[in-house]
Amino acid sequence: MSVNILLSGSAGRMGRSITEISEDNGCHISCPIDVGDDPIQGINDCDVVIDFSLREATLPLARLCVDAGKPMVIGTTGHGPAEKSEIESFSSKIPIVWAGNFSTGVNLLFYITEIAARVLDSSSKFDPEVIEMHHRLKKDAPSGTADRLLEILKNSRELTDKQIAHGRNGMVGERPAKEIGSHALRGGDVVGDHTVLFAGMGERIELTHRATDRKIFAVGALRAAKWIRDQPPGLFSMQDVLGLV
């Protein structure tokens, strides 16, 4: 049975991509909304809400999902800590899949990075850095995917946000061992490149994923929508959807 979807951000790049492939992926966009549209009626009539809009739009939409008891798939990135924790708290009432990146390949990169970070721990003397590149129109930095990669490395090395160096400029001194570098490149029409780099003495490991078509995110978001329809309240990642955890 086709899943009826309220799609927020329907006129955007991701919204158009999701709409284009929805019917072939067992879903129907029953209510496309964009800036200025009222989601109330559409929420009541849908099975799942998908949000690929603007950071400021996610929280009010999530409140409506709680009121209507509808599952939510969140792809929008760039939320601050306060917004994040309020939205996450709603997962006690509704199921939410929240992923900074819905591609299968990137979620495998998360998985492999976790393993690499475990092996190349702080005693290994490998220095971790995250490099990402996106198109010139992207508004937030680092990307949600880079944020997740940084979080995996940070947790593995028991570091704090203050120990993440976002770019380096001027006489910054030698690289401290307890540091993770983060570098955001912007330009052209790059869909999304992410590299996790572990630089050691005499060797270097680079784990790279390159997205060339944003349909990979659309396919993942629709897969998440089909999966979450039957889930109990909770906060889920794309790794849950793919069975990687």
Contact residues for ligand NAD, defined by CB under 6 A:
8-9, 11-15, 33-35, 52-54, 57, 75-78, 99-102, 144, 217
Residues shown for the chain: 245
**Residue 95 bridge partners (DSSP):** 234
Nearest to ligand NAD of 144, 181 (CB atom): 144
Nearest to ligand NAD of 77, 182 (CB atom): 77
Question: d(Cα 234, Cα 232) in Å, to the nearest integer?
Answer: 6
Query: Known catalytic residue: 183?
Result: no
The CB-of-153 to ligand NAD minimum distance in angstroms stands at 20
Q: Are 225 and 73 contacting, i.e. CB atoms less than 8 angstroms apart? A: yes
Residue 94 tokens read as 């509704």
Which is it for strands 192-199 and 127-134: parallel, antiparallel or unpaired? antiparallel
Output the CA torsion sign for 56, 139, 167, 239: positive
Query: Known catalytic residue: 134?
Result: yes
The CB-of-220 to ligand NAD minimum distance in angstroms stands at 7
Name the catalytic one among 79, 134, 194, 209: 134
Nearest to ligand NAD of 12, 233 (CB atom): 12
Nearest to ligand NAD of 5, 120 (CB atom): 5
The CB-of-223 to ligand NAD minimum distance in angstroms stands at 12
Question: Treating both helix axes as pointing N-terminal to C-terminal, what angle do 55-68 and 81-89 enclose, rounded to 10 degrees?
Answer: 10
The CB-of-5 to ligand NAD minimum distance in angstroms stands at 14
The H-assigned helical ranges of 24-75 are: 40-45, 55-68
Just list the catalytic residues. 134, 138
